[in-house]
């Protein structure tokens, strides 16, 4: 049974649905990647100011982050947030064929999860909550943070360490469905795990010390003269050594992964000069902080060895140190009840026709029902938890990773999922990534997720504002699980002891004599 304020919020969202659709497409088309979401952040800031929010730009020293507030008198403060970073190498237009957005190549940024819909759904819930508070005289404050660089677990550990999640009565975290059984449900006990990300930088700044031959002349007598191996060799040694030792880094139980990306390499032409700088980034996703520390120790040793044998020195720079998540059943119940009231998203015939086109264009076979059945079903948090636990050892408390977990140590936090369009596979056909990326940008296929999630956010926020009993239950559970709240005996303090890693050579859009381009030149450019 919805309250009058909740009914107002639902009606508000029905009214602004065309705007939400247009806004989702806008962020999708920006396709900006980690730490370089300039247009996306500026768009949100302008929109929030237009809606009457006060906005701190560049919060916690992150140029593409923000923190917005709107107050309607004394009362609890409810937290929501937007993500808006895309992924390099996934540029896809909102069409039913594989095609990058106009003027770009496939290596440019594109939304995969998609964060374009994630952020706008949360914004829609925020605006509907505000409208209901105004109309019904509900007192309290809304806090809305802009969270860049989620794909490298970037902003939330930093915001957490700087106190941006303190003082909240509840935090509502939404994410598009990305793995079964977490579709149209909320997390119960098994929240995401820890994640460490770092950049190892190799610098060959004294190549003259590699050998003493040559009489100290600055230019060797021949191009074949001995020279320092340099930074490229250090990077490749680090890369191969860490690959070789991967099986020995962690025990063969509990879900974990280690992945890498080469950010910069070379810094010299193909002459006989040693490369002076090379950088490689690692992302460690593990259930526990202790496991992350173990991998970091191995990587440090590998970096030291690689630097030593190539005439370099190394630096380690943190990108992220995020904590494993903390469950809150009271909050999970609040958001799942809201989702149950809204009902699962529904896709019409127009959306199904589009999905069939994508099925065929992606090398599959068109099916009568092109979407998986789970997209239009609810599954209770407890039932989803039981399915999730079937493949996990009993000792493993956390699984996979996402940096919303840092919020959960500062306020009662709910994490819920709403179905995004996912294609049914006929005869075991595996769809390429562009297909799902496209469905995340086409209005007919992504809008049902956005409006369903926005309504769920609004109903949950208003429940927290209007129902003191529910709000107190969530806070009591948070206090119990942390052993006394923030600073309690079971509380894990922020791990962030580093500055925002904004000055690295992160992939981004650039302006050249050719016009706007991606940092890897688009196909066809000269």
Domain layout of the chain by residue ranges: 4-191+325-481, 195-322
Give the dihedral sign, CA 517/523/525/526: positive
User: Residue 268 pLDDT more than 80?
Assistant: no
pLDDT beyond 80 at 312? yes
Tell me the mean pLDDT in the region 144-173.
97
Average pLDDT over residues 454-465: 98
At 126, is the pLDDT very low, low, confident or very high (cuts 50, 70, 90)? very high
Give pLDDT, residue 427: 82
Q: What is residue 179's three-state secondary structure?
A: strand
Residue 526: the pLDDT is: 44
The Cα–Cα gap between 352 and 347 comes to 7
Query: What pLDDT is attached to residue 224?
Result: 62
User: What is the pLDDT averaged over residues 295-317?
Assistant: 96
CA gap 153, 387 in Å, rounded: 26
Lowest model confidence (mean pLDDT) among 365-369, 443-447, 450-454 = 365-369
pLDDT of residue 515 exceeding 50, the answer is yes
Residue 352 has pLDDT above 50, yes or no: yes
Q: What is the pLDDT of residue 222?
A: 60
Pairing of strands 77-83, 141-147: parallel
pLDDT tens-digit map of 495-511? 999 999 999 999 999 99
Indicate the fold that domain 195-322 takes in CATH.
Alpha-Beta Plaits (3.30.70)
**What's the 3-state SS for 481-511?**
HCCCCCCCCCCCCCCCCCCCCCCCCCCCEEE
Contact call for residues 147 and 159 (beta carbons, < 8 A): yes
- CATH 3.40.630.10 assigned to 4-191+325-481: yes
Q: What is the mean pLDDT of the chain?
A: 94
User: Residue 74: CB partners within 8 Å, gap ≥ 6?
Assistant: 139, 140
- The pTM assigned to this predicted structure is 0.94
Q: Are 176 and 113 in contact (CB under 8 A)?
A: yes
pLDDT for residue 15 is more than 80: yes
């Amino acid at each position: 049974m919805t309250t009058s304020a909740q009914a107002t919020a639902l009606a508000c969202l029905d009214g602004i649905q065309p705007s939400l659709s247009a806004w989702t497409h806008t962020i999708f088309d920006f396709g900006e990647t980690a730490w370089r979401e300039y247009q996306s952040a500026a768009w949100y800031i302008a929109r929030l100011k237009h809606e009457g929010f006060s906005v701190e730009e560049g919060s916690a020293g992150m140029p593409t982050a923000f923190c917005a507030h709107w107050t309607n008198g004394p009362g609890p403060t409810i937290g929501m947030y937007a993500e808006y970073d895309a992924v390099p190498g996934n540029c896809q237009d909102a069409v039913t064929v594989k095609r990058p957005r106009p003027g770009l190549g496939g290596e440019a940024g594109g939304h995969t999860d998609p964060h374009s819909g994630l952020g706008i759904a949360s914004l829609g819930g925020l605006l509907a909550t505000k409208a209901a508070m105004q109309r019904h005289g509900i007192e309290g404050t809304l806090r809305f943070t802009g969270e860049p660089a989620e794909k490298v677990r970037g902003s939330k550990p930093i915001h957490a360490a700087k106190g941006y999640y303190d003082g909240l009565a509840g935090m509502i975290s939404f994410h598009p469905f990305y793995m079964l059984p977490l579709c149209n449900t909320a997390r119960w006990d098994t929240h995401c795990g820890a994640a460490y990300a770092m950049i190892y930088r190799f610098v060959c700044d004294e190549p003259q010390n590699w050998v003493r031959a040559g009489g100290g002349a600055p230019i060797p007598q021949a191009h074949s003269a001995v020279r320092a191996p340099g930074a490229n060799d250090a990077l490749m040694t680090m890369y191969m050594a860490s690959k070789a030792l991967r099986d020995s880094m962690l025990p063969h139980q509990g879900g974990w992964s280690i992945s890498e990306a080469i950010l910069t390499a070379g810094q010299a032409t193909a002459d006989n000069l040693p490369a002076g700088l090379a950088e490689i980034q690692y992302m460690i996703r593990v259930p526990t902080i202790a496991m992350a520390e173990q991998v970091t120790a191995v990587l440090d040793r590998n970096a030291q060895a690689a630097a030593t044998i190539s005439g370099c020195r190394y630096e380690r720079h943190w990108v992220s140190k995020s904590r494993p998540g903390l469950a809150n059943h009271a909050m999970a119940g609040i958001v799942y009840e809201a989702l149950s009231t809204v009902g699962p998203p529904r896709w019409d015939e127009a959306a199904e026709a589009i999905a069939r086109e994508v099925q065929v264009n992606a090398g599959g076979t068109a099916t009568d029902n092109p979407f998986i059945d789970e997209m239009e079903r609810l599954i209770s948090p407890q039932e989803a938890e039981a399915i999730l636990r079937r493949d996990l050892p009993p000792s493993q408390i956390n699984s996979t990773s996402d940096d919303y977990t840092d919020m959960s140590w500062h306020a009662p936090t709910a994490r819920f999922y709403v179905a995004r369009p996912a294609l049914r596979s006929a005869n075991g056909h595996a769809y390429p990534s562009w297909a799902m990326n496209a469905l995340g940008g086409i209005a007919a296929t992504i809008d049902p997720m956005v409006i369903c999630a926005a309504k769920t956010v609004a109903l949950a926020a208003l429940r927290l504002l209007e129902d003191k009993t529910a709000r107190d239950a969530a806070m009591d559970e948070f206090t119990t699980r942390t052993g006394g709240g923030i600073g309690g005996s079971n509380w894990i303090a922020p791990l962030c002891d580093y500055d925002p890693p904004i000055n690295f050579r992160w992939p981004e859009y650039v302006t050249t004599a050719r016009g706007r381009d991606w940092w890897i030149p688009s196909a066809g450019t000269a």
